[in-house]
Amino acid sequence: MKAKGKFDTLVSQDTPVLVDFYADWCGPCQAMAPVLKEVAQHYEGKVKIIKIDVDKNQPIAQRFGVRSIPALILFKGGNVLWQQAGMITVRDLSNKLAAAV
């Protein structure tokens, strides 16, 4: 299955899907890793978190207007519920996810 088809299938679920657009060379992206890990543990089974490397998946990043990273986009049923570029705290991200669950 092509990346676009697989991505569309993942974000079209009824379970909310948080997509982390990142790059390995990005310092702020690396700093977000512990935030995402903590949130993933708290929302296990309620929210799926996937990572998209923008260097390897440029068409998907371009499709959603990702111009700076890290960028987070929350999907539910294929629809974008929320998106943000840049760093976010565990508390603020948890509040965004709680509204979607």
Residues with active-site annotation: 26, 29
Report helix, strand or coil for 8.
helix
* CA gap 57, 15 in Å, rounded: 23
Q: Which two tokens stand for residue 50?
A: 């996937």
Termini Cα distance of the chain: 28
